[in-house]
Structure 1
Amino acid sequence: MWQSIPELVRWSAEKYGEAEAVVDGRVRVSYRELGRRVERAAAACAATGLRAGDRVGIWAPNSLEWIVAALGAVSAGGVLVPLNTRFKGAEAADVLRRSGARLLFVTGTFLGTSYVASLRRAAGEGAGTGPLPGLPELRDVVVLAEDAPEGFRAWGEFLAGGEGAAGGLTGMTGPGGGAGSTTGTTGPGDAPGGTTGTTGSGGGAGGTTGITGSSPSDIIFTSGTTGSPKGAVITHEQTLRGYDAWSELAGLREGDRYLVVNPFFHTFGYKAGVIACLTRGATIIPQPVFDVTTALANIAAERVTVLPGPPTLHQSLLDHPARASYDLSSLRLVVTGAAVVPLRLVERLRDELGVATVLTAYGLSEASGIVTMCRRGDSPEVIATTSGRAIPGTEVRVADAAGAALPPGEPGEVLVRGFNVMRGYYGDDRATREVITPDGWLRTGDVGVLDEAGNLRITDRIKDMFIVGGFNAYPAEIEQILGLHPAVADVAVVGIPDARLGEVGKAYVVRRAGSVTTGDDLIAWARREMANYKVPRLVEFVGELPRNASGKVVKGLLRT
């Protein structure tokens, strides 16, 4: 239906009109108004000289401004580079440098930190002449606030710069698009994120007419839990096809009210959130930071119907001592993933909150964020113990070290092939060749098992597996069992050196409130529930596990 994200924005503005598109605090914006705001932001991007294929960074929390700036940049032909809000200045500067970002949208102060100041400390010196000399390709920095420091532009000033530049979203996506159009596209043979376009003869700052389905829409940098983040290049067609499918399988529908706690810099927030809502006419309710009390209040006040998120989010809602004082009866759809899903979580969401549809899914940045998903109507057992089946248009298989397919029930590396596989890692052909085989299979680095029906159960990361006396031990499997203990609220298992067995497991455990269970108690219980080689030899109790913003435990921090 849609060939590009700007087409989707224009279509949703026309189709859903005055229906609420975004509720951000006291600000309520209709789909028609959202379309106008995106159009204005796109014109302002074009007025800076942004051309098709130019990378545009955005480093900010979930908000209406994030949505408008991101969709505006993409509508002007830019390739979006969302930055993790947990990055420090040096980490953000590294991603901006490696992506060659031309334009950056950045929040002012967030959680007591000035992002602008941290960037200046990291990239304020260098050979460049732009606002951040250490980032010579970065020519414009826009602060998503009313005021901006010298050398940067405030959001209002930026938008004013596009007044009268290009008229209408149709001018940005179709022929004859206002003054000064870019007629080229970025084809599959080009370097990821590059542009083969030339400036047309329309004159002045104008729209981008060269966006096609195969044009890059964004570069999503991996979470970096197992190494330096790498940028997966994803196209407009992959994004639209993937999240139209996500919306269909989840049962997202017009009029739904969707609390987006998942960060927009991640596919779970931007694509399974913003893009999915645009496809169905659902209302986006962004929450910039996960606070359980705020989430409960939002659900009750805004009659939220849809709440995807990692298991820890839903667990904290269920366990909140004041949960009963909030009306959560509007919730009807939960989609979870990104980590081990405790077996009892699905049952509690259904039984205690009355959520009609609970689904699990699996994806990774290199596969547009979506690979498998449960279906409505699947049994509770399938939903609780698997991530569902391959989405339409993709293949999933489990393979041995040589790449040969393994039969159902045998663990191996999960391979994915289909429309959703990235074009490659931006600027890193070697890393791309390491993960995409010549015949198009993406090596995910995840260990999984397929059942006879094609349902996938992720057991671990290959790099997380450890070997105990010659036996392969998969931490996620051990964590799943330990999570059944009534005293365990959260758990992560890593391998540590052992003089006799080579490696053994160590469990980091978050106790439930009021529990006095000891490490010896938990180990004794584990010996009754799992094979001896899987039983952790050490247990350390912690207040919380280190997680990235996607909900994944950063096990490298536990190993240090």
Structure 2
Amino acid sequence: MRHDLAFQSIPNVVRAAARRFGDATALVDGDRRIGFRELEDLMLRAVASAQALGIGPGDRAGLCAPNSVEWIVAALGIQGAGGIVVPLNTRFKARELSYILRRSGARALFAAASFLGTDHTAELKRADPDLPALTTTVSLPGASGAAYMTWGQFLGLGTASRAAHRAIDRLTPDRVSDVMFTSGTTGHPKGVMLTHGQSLRAYGWMSTQYGFRASDSFLVIPPFFHCFGYKAGWLASFLHGVTVIPMAVFDAGRALELIERERVSILLGPPTIFHDLLHHPGRGERDLSSLRVSMTGGSTIPESLIHAMKKDLSFDIVLSAYGLTESAALVTTTRVGDAEETVARTTGRPIPDVEVRLTDASGGQVPAGRDGEIRVRGYNVTRGYWDDPEATAAAIDGDGWLHTGDIGHLDAAGNLVIVDRKKDMYIVGGFNAYPAEIEKLLLGCEHIAQVAVVGVPDARMGEVGCAFVVAAPGARPTEEDVVAWAREHMANFKVPRHVRFVDALPRNAGLKVLKDDLRARYRGGER
């Protein structure tokens, strides 16, 4: 089924689900159990409320909250009114959030009043009280007497109405649904524009191939600010009548409890999640027989992990995939029936109507088996970076090929094998970490004169950051000082886990830092 043509828009998926699945459970969030008809009503109220705030076609609204019913309803309300959702990483600090809100021109912000000890609304107001476009902040969920509009007050602005339905009716597959900011090698995040149709088509196909069905329950652990949790998570589920169980913060013990209690059958996520479930001391006490479908990615997957997921976690299907935000986060995937070796060693074949080409330094296509840069062309490729035509032109050439910067090759069966990632990028527990951005933030510390960050192996997280620091004149910071400063000023996954102090950074004749030398120093234990 061409899901972009069948459903037109993300909010219309919920309207269709209400007709198809009625009072079947759509969401389980703590003690709340919400059926598809009730979800439609909440969405329509949110659409009308967003319209009352002045959100209309093309307006951007930031959304910074943990996985929850409110995140989903807020996103549907913004999109239903014709607006564009700007998902925000809940681990970001105020300075990082401020940059994205300014860059996107967001006129509204929906933010958690408190999450992981941080009040994002209060922190943002202190850091940047004069965001030019921002007119309304909704505390989500908000306490009585909060300085901002509470979630209840927001929903009270509107009711399910014909006007809300008409707004959804006007949405088309080619309308931008979200701008997802992804950090880059320039040190500044770039806003990736994706449309309703791209997401519906990609994840409608994926969820059908993976065997999603109305009797399933999906414990969604990857965060909603990422395509893994949002599009491969609740959106893919609603297309098939799957019950969604949002998890705000991953805790292996709590996850095992929910799997048993809610008979969870679908669980997607980075390898870290499955590693922790397998090694939790309480695993043997839980009934995990309901687990059926899994997909993991984000780093190399040991074949032993896939075997353990089937044997000890009861999965029937374990798959792997590859994508990046600029490609709607889906380019290739293995298929049901592929051997464990194929799932572990490769990321599978391209999805339908998407081309993958491997090229050499001059742009020429390389034959199967030889390494080259991965280029992607198809309906899933972003419409461009928000308000950044130069970056768009640098990433997507005149023939429509997205230059990923990732290195890989195709095996004899056409499966894509990733051999290296975007230069210098590393992945921490499923989160992309970009050294240029982290270095830019670390230079804000008065004790640091120069810094270079590289990814190094870590048994649990896959990779973590190691910062090589040249101290400022007269300063004598310790490793603990640098890590503590970083924890105050950047998202946790960006914080270097190791710090090495050096007199000077190794550079070539062009003064470029030789990061291969730094990786070798780390491997050799040199400080």
TM-score bracket, shorter-length normalisation: 0.7 to 0.9
Q: Which sits farther off after the overlay, 218-227 or 229-238?
A: 218-227
In the alignment, which of 125, 136, 139 is matched to residue 140 of structure 1? Answer: 136
Q: In the alignment, is residue 171 of structure 1 matched against residue 166 of structure 2?
A: yes
Cα shift at 1:554? 5.3
Cα shift at 1:557? 6.6
Give aligned-pair identity as a percent. Answer: 47
Residues 392 and 111 of structure 1: is their aligned pair in 2 closer, same or farther, counting only changes over 3 Å?
Answer: same
In the alignment, which of 156, 160, 166 is matched to residue 160 of structure 1? Answer: 156
Aligned to 1:99: 104
2:312 counterpart SS class = helix
Residues of 2 paired with 1:227 and 1:242: CA distance? 29
Residues of 2 paired with 1:123 and 1:507: CA distance? 34
Residues of 2 paired with 1:154 and 1:58: CA distance? 14
One-letter amino acid of the counterpart of residue 203, structure 2: Y
User: Could you report, residue by residue, the CA deviation over 1:499-538 in whole angstroms, capped at 9, with x for unpaired residues?
Assistant: xxxxxx99544489xxxxxxxxxxxxxxxxxxxxxxxxxx
Q: In the alignment, is residue 388 of structure 1 matched against residue 322 of structure 2?
A: no
2:414 counterpart SS class = coil
Residues of 2 paired with 1:75 and 1:293: CA distance? 37
One-letter amino acid of the counterpart of residue 389, structure 1: R
Cα shift at 1:102? 1.1
2:55 counterpart SS class = coil
Residues of 1 paired with 2:359 and 2:145: CA distance? 54
Aligned to 1:358: 318
Residues of 1 paired with 2:495 and 2:347: CA distance? 22
Residues of 1 paired with 2:285 and 2:192: CA distance? 43
Residues of 2 paired with 1:26 and 1:251: CA distance? 28
User: Could you report, residue by residue, the CA deviation over 1:167-200 in whole angstroms, capped at 9, with x for unpaired residues?
Assistant: 37532223xxxxxxxxxxxxxxxxxxxxxxxxxx
Q: In the alignment, is residue 419 of structure 1 matched against residue 379 of structure 2?
A: yes
Residues 418 and 154 of structure 1: is their aligned pair in 2 closer, same or farther, counting only changes over 3 Å?
Answer: same
Residues 62 and 459 of structure 1: is their aligned pair in 2 closer, same or farther, counting only changes over 3 Å?
Answer: same
Aligned to 1:72: 77
Aligned to 1:528: none
Residues of 2 paired with 1:225 and 1:253: CA distance? 40
Aligned to 2:398: 438
1:353 counterpart SS class = coil
Residues of 1 paired with 2:120 and 2:194: CA distance? 27
Q: Which sits farther off after the overlay, 142-151 or 438-447?
A: 142-151
Alignment check: 8 A CA contact 1:362 1:371 kept: yes
Alignment check: 8 A CA contact 1:373 1:390 kept: yes
Cα shift at 1:240? 0.6
- Gaps of at least 5 residues in structure 2 are 1-5, 436-453, 462-485, 501-527
Residues 380 and 58 of structure 1: is their aligned pair in 2 closer, same or farther, counting only changes over 3 Å?
Answer: same
Q: Which sits farther off after the overlay, 340-349 or 219-228?
A: 219-228
In the alignment, which of 17, 22, 32 is matched to residue 22 of structure 2? Answer: 17
Aligned to 1:285: 245
- Gaps of at least 5 residues in structure 1 are 125-133, 175-208, 466-474, 480-491, 495-504, 513-545
User: Could you report, residue by residue, the CA deviation over 1:253-282 in whole angstroms, capped at 9, with x for unpaired residues?
Assistant: 112100000000000000000110111100
Cα shift at 1:553? 7.3
2:321 counterpart SS class = strand
User: Could you report, residue by residue, the CA deviation over 1:96-154 in whole angstroms, capped at 9, with x for unpaired residues?
Assistant: 11000011111011111111211111112xxxxxxxxx211011111112426665200
Cα shift at 1:406? 0.9
Residues of 2 paired with 1:108 and 1:506: CA distance? 33
Aligned to 2:270: 310
Residues 433 and 79 of structure 1: is their aligned pair in 2 closer, same or farther, counting only changes over 3 Å?
Answer: same
Alignment check: 8 A CA contact 1:59 1:83 kept: yes
Alignment check: 8 A CA contact 1:413 1:462 kept: no
Alignment check: 8 A CA contact 2:424 2:455 kept: no
TM value normalised by structure 1: 0.76
Q: In the alignment, is residue 108 of structure 1 matched against residue 113 of structure 2?
A: yes
| RMSD of aligned residue pairs (Cα, Å) | 2.7
One-letter amino acid of the counterpart of residue 302, structure 2: P
In the alignment, which of 325, 330, 338 is matched to residue 290 of structure 2? Answer: 330
Cα shift at 1:316? 0.8
User: Could you report, residue by residue, the CA deviation over 1:395-445 in whole angstroms, capped at 9, with x for unpaired residues?
Assistant: 011111222111111111110000000000001111111110100000111
User: How many residue pairs are counted as aligned between the two chains?
Assistant: 447
TM value normalised by structure 2: 0.80
Alignment check: 8 A CA contact 2:44 2:159 kept: no
Alignment check: 8 A CA contact 1:256 1:304 kept: yes
1:242 counterpart SS class = helix
1:71 counterpart SS class = helix
Residues of 1 paired with 2:365 and 2:89: CA distance? 36
Structure 1 runs of 4+ off > 3 angstroms? Answer: 148-151, 223-227, 505-512, 551-560
Q: Within 5 Å, give how 1:293-304 maps onto structure 2.
A: 293-304=253-264
Aligned to 1:82: 87
